A and B are shown apart, each in its own frame.
Chain A
Amino acid sequence: MFERDDETTVERVIQHLRRPVAIDAGLDARVMQAIAKAPPQRRRVRPLWPLLAAAAVLAAVLIARPWTRSVPKADTLQFVLIAPQAASVALVGDFNDWDPARAPMQTAHGVWATMVRLEPGRYRYAFLVNGVEWRADPSAPAAKDDEFGTPSSVVTVGGRGS
């Protein structure tokens, strides 16, 4: 099961460790809340107005960003399709207006992948291969209501972060 050649082993370890690791996006909110409490040290004088301005900016950021006090947690998922013969693969679904231009996938050795950040919800999606062929995701639940005659899959983000 494990490679016999040690050098290859270390190279595989390196490849494994180099893979992206997605951190909980709620971290952004926690950082922003922490810094709102204590502006940068270089400010010696603390008039009220800059603090109010900062608070307003922070409020705007919190409202505009998906992570808010109301907890629903987005998730980042990886989508993969093995298609060694394909010239192009696009991920299309409810999260990107079914627009093939929005999520072209990257390939290495016939394996196509991309990462998408999703707000809580249930999303139908599919892979569009070479711009013409529709494929469902073999590793995901099937979307049964397939009213347009092509296969689709489903991915769900629950919203509770786990």
Chain B
Amino acid sequence: MILATLLLVTQVAAQDPRLERLDPDARSAVAAIVDSAHGIGLPVEPLIQRALEGATKGAPSARIVAAVRRLTVDLGTARTALGTNAVPAELEAAVAALRAGATPEVLAHLRDVRRPPLTMALSVLADLVASGVPADSAAAAVLALAPKARDADLVEFRRAVERDIALGAPPAAATSVRVNAGANAVFTQGSDPGNPAPPRPRRP
């Protein structure tokens, strides 16, 4: 069963019909990258999605191939930092965090202090940086909150920081104030601590 599965999946990229949306040059290059990524155990879906994004946006083949190649490398780095037990969702979020400026050490530290999945924690780190928070402040904040905060708390933290920044607070200051306030607080949106249910359906 396992052997049959392995034989099947070596053909994964060649058969993925979605790649037909790419130009022939891009298609064969991307297929090759996807196959070798798969060969070393990296998730291929993010690579395919990146290629399709490029295709939909009409990007030149060379740029698509470069993007897929870069993502493969970064997924590898993420996996080294998080370990082979990391699931694809975590690896993708880890790539975002790395590209935002988090170091592999930060990722490894996060892995040590927080129960998996780390997806949201890594994402929030990357999103904070995207809002203007310096990478080391964002990393410090997420690491401080990581041991105890639920995913929803981290999201709420990120939103609170973004609101403060929008109101004019310096990003690093906004982050540290919120971390200090948040370390002991309950991050539910309501005043009733007995109800942890998050909003559904929610917005990004």
Q: In this complex, which of B18, B66, B88, B200 has the most chain A Cβ atoms within 10 angstroms of its Cβ? A: B200
**Residues A122 and B119 in contact in the complex (CB < 8 Å), given A141-B127, A141-B204:** yes
- Scoring A residues 120 to 160 as 1 if CB is less than 8 Å from chain B, else 0, what string do you get? 11101000100000100101111111011110111111111
Which segment, of A8-16, A31-39, A61-69, A71-79, faces chain B? A71-79
Give the interface segment out of B5-13, B34-42, B54-62: B54-62
Contact B57 A134 (CB under 8 A): yes
B152 contact from A100, A119, A162, Cβ within 8 A: A162
Instruction: Determine if B49 and A97 form an interchain contact, defined as CB atoms under 8 angstroms apart.
Output: yes
Given contacts A98-B49, A145-B99, is CB(A122)–CB(B201) below 8 Å?
no
A-side interface mostly: loop
| Contact B204–A21 (Cβ < 8 Å) | no
Which residues on A sit within 8 Å (CB–CB) of B70? 147
Partner of A94 from the list B53, B59, B63, B130 (CB cut-off 8 Å) is B53
Contact for B130 among A98, A115, A141, CB less than 8 A: A141
Q: For this complex, into which size category does the number of interface residues on chain A fall? A: 35 or more
A-B contact count (CB 8 A): 139
Mask: chain A, 70-109; 1 = CB below 8 Å from B; 0 = not: 0010011111100000000000101001111000000000
A20 within 8 A of B: yes
> Are B201 and A76 in contact, CB atoms less than 8 angstroms apart?
yes
Within 8 Å of chain A (Cβ to Cβ): is B96?
yes
Cβ contact within 8 Å between A162 and B196: yes
Docked-complex contact A159 and B89, CB < 8 angstroms: yes
Asked whether A20 and B93 contact (CB < 8 A) given A72-B117, A122-B119, A148-B54, the answer is no
**Residue B119 contacts which of A148, A153, A158 (CB distance < 8 angstroms)?**
A158
A100 surroundings in chain B (CB, below 8 A): 56
CB distance from B187 to the nearest CB of A (A): 11
**When A154-B96, A159-B89 are in contact, do A75 and B201 touch as well, CB less than 8 Å?**
yes
Determine the distance from Cα of A76 to Cα of B202 in the docked complex, in whole angstroms.
Answer: 7
Residues on B with beta carbons closer than 8 Å to the beta carbon of A144: 96, 99-100, 126, 129-130
State whether A154 touches B201 (Cβ < 8 A).
no
A139 pairs with B53, CB closer than 8 A: no
Assess the B120–A156 pair: CB atoms within 8 A: yes
Chain B residues with CB under 8 Å of A152's CB are 53
A-facing residues in B123-150 (Cβ within 8 Å): 123-124, 126-127, 129-131, 150
* Residue A28 CB within 8 A of the other chain: no
Chain B 180-199 interface residues, beta-carbon cutoff 8 Å to A? 196-198
* 8 A Cβ contacts from B102-119 to A: 117, 119
CA distance A115 to B162 in the complex (A): 24
Q: Does B203 contact A156, Cβ atoms closer than 8 Å?
A: no
Q: Which residue of A lies closest to B48 (CB)?
A: A97
Apart from A78-B202, A144-B96, A144-B99: 15 A-B pairs, beta carbons within 8 A: A77-B202, A79-B203, A98-B52, A122-B122, A124-B49, A141-B158, A144-B126, A154-B123, A155-B204, A156-B124, A156-B204, A158-B119, A158-B120, A159-B117, A159-B119
Interface positions of A (Cβ within 8 A of B):
20-24, 72, 75-80, 92, 94, 97-100, 115, 119-122, 124, 128, 134, 137, 139-145, 147-150, 152-160, 162
Residues of B with Cβ closer than 8 Å to A? 18, 46, 48-49, 52-57, 59, 63, 66-67, 70, 87-89, 92-93, 96, 99-100, 117, 119-120, 122-124, 126-127, 129-131, 150-152, 155, 158, 162, 196-198, 200-204
